[in-house]
C-alpha cells in the first residue's frame, strides 16, 4: 500500500524563530496520526503547512491525489490546492466559528462544499444536509437554524458534518475538542472515532489533550520547540515514553 501523504523535511520559520523544522512522516490510508506538544511547540504551524494554509520554507508535502497520483501540494498551483481543500481534504478548526458561516443556516453550511464543487440541485443538497445532520447527531428539525443558535458542541459537530460531506480522504483537525466540557468532549470523540472508522478516513489531529490521541490516534508524534522529539505507536509512546519531555507530558496529566 502506498502512503496517502508523504511529508519530508518540512520547515517553517518566522524570521529567525523556528515555527517547526525537519518534520518528516508518512501517513497511510485509514491511519490517524496524533501530534501532541505544549502551546508554542509548532503543532499548529505544522498542521497549517500541511493543509496549505501556510507556505513552508522548505520540504515537500506529497499527497496521493485521485486523478494525478502523488503530487507535491507545496508547489502545486493555487487553484488546484484550493480545489483539493474543498474535495479530498477537510479542516476542522478549534473554534467552530472559524470554520462555519455563522450567518448561514446549518443546511447551507453543510451544502456549501457541495455547491462549491458544482452541485446545482436543491433537493439533493437538502437531502445530503439532512443525512449529515443525522450522522453527527443533530436533530434534522434544526436544519434551517443558524449555527449561532447552536451550543458549542453542536457547532463543532456541524463543522465536522460540513467538512465531511464531500467525502474527503484526509482530515486535518486542530484541537477539535478544545473549549468543550468533558461530557461533550466524550460524545464528540465517540462520534469522530465512529466516522473515521466507518469512512476509512485518514486524519492528522493536533491536540494538547493526551486522552484525545489515546482514543483516536494510531500513531503519535511529540513536538517540542518546533521539532519532533519522539514518535511511534500511540500506546507505545504513552505507556513507555522514552524522551524526557514525553515523560514529563505523560506524567503531568492529572489522574482522577
CA dihedral over 233, 236, 242, 245, signed as positive or negative: positive
- Minimum distance from residue 81 beta carbon to another protein (Å): 10
Q: Does 168 bind another protein (CB under 8 A)?
A: no
Q: Tell me the window of 32-40, 98-106, 162-170, 225-233 that interacts with another protein (CB under 8 A).
A: 98-106
Q: Does 115 bind another protein (CB under 8 A)?
A: yes
Residue 73 DSSP one-character state:
T
Q: Tell me the window of 61-69, 104-112, 218-226, 234-242 that interacts with another protein (CB under 8 A).
A: 104-112
User: Angle at Cα 212 formed by Cα 208 and Cα 214, nearest 5°?
Assistant: 110
Q: Nearest 5°: phi and psi at 57?
A: -80, -25
DSSP 194-233: HHHHHHT-EEEEEES-HHHHHHH-SEEEEEETTEEEEEEE
From candidates 43, 93, 113, 135, binder to another protein by CB under 8 A: 113
From candidates 14, 15, 17, 123, binder to another protein by CB under 8 A: 123
Q: Nearest 5°: phi and psi at 104?
A: -115, 145
Q: Tell me the window of 46-54, 106-114, 182-190, 234-242 that interacts with another protein (CB under 8 A).
A: 106-114
Q: Does 160 bind another protein (CB under 8 A)?
A: no
Smaller CB distance to another protein: residue 142 or 187?
142
Q: Does 162 bind another protein (CB under 8 A)?
A: no
Please tell me whether residue 242 adopts helix, strand or coil conformation: coil
- Minimum distance from residue 174 beta carbon to another protein (Å): 20
Query: Crossing angle for the helix pair 152-164 and 182-199, nearest 10 degrees?
Result: 10
Nearest to 73 by CA among 58, 60, 83, 91: 60
Q: Does 131 bind another protein (CB under 8 A)?
A: no
Q: Does 143 bind another protein (CB under 8 A)?
A: yes
Q: Does 108 bind another protein (CB under 8 A)?
A: yes
Q: Nearest 5°: phi and psi at 69?
A: 75, -160
Which positions lie near another protein, rule CB under 8 A?
Answer: 78-79, 82, 101, 104-105, 107-108, 111-113, 115-118, 120-123, 125-126, 143-144
Amino acid at each position: 500500500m502506498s502512503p496517502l501523504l508523504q511529508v519530508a523535511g518540512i520547515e517553517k520559520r518566522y524570521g529567525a524563530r523556528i515555527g517547526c523544522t525537519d518534520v518528516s512522516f508518512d501517513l497511510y490510508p485509514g491511519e490517524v496520526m496524533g501530534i501532541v506538544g505544549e502551546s508554542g511547540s509548532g503543532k499548529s504551524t505544522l498542521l497549517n503547512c500541511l493543509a496549505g494554509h501556510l507556505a513552508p520554507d522548505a520540504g515537500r508535502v506529497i499527497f496521493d491525489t485521485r486523478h494525478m497520483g502523488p503530487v507535491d501540494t507545496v508547489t502545486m498551483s493555487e487553484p488546484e490546492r484550493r480545489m483539493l481543500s474543498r474535495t479530498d481534504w477537510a479542516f476542522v478548526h478549534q473554534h467552530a466559528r472559524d470554520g462555519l458561516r455563522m450567518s448561514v443556516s446549518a443546511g447551507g453550511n453543510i451544502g456549501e462544499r457541495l455547491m462549491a464543487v458544482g452541485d446545482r440541485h436543491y433537493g439533493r443538497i437538502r437531502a445530503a444536509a439532512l443525512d449529515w445532520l443525522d450522522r453527527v447527531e443533530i436533530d434534522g428539525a434544526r436544519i434551517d437554524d443558524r449555527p449561532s443558535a447552536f451550543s458549542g458542541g453542536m457547532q463543532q459537530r456541524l463543522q465536522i458534518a460540513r467538512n465531511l460531506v464531500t467525502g474527503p480522504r484526509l482530515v486535518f483537525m486542530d484541537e477539535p475538542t478544545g473549549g468543550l466540557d468533558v461530557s461533550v468532549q466524550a460524545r464528540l470523540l465517540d462520534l469522530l472515532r465512529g466516522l473515521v472508522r466507518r469512512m476509512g478516513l485518514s486524519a492528522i489531529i493536533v491536540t494538547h489533550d493526551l486522552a484525545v490521541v489515546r482514543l483516536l490516534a494510531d500513531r503519535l508524534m511529540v513536538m517540542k520547540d518546533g521539532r519532533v522529539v519522539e514518535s511511534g505507536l500511540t500506546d507505545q509512546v504513552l505507556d513507555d515514553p522514552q524522551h524526557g519531555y514525553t515523560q514529563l507530558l505523560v506524567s503531568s496529566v492529572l489522574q482522577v
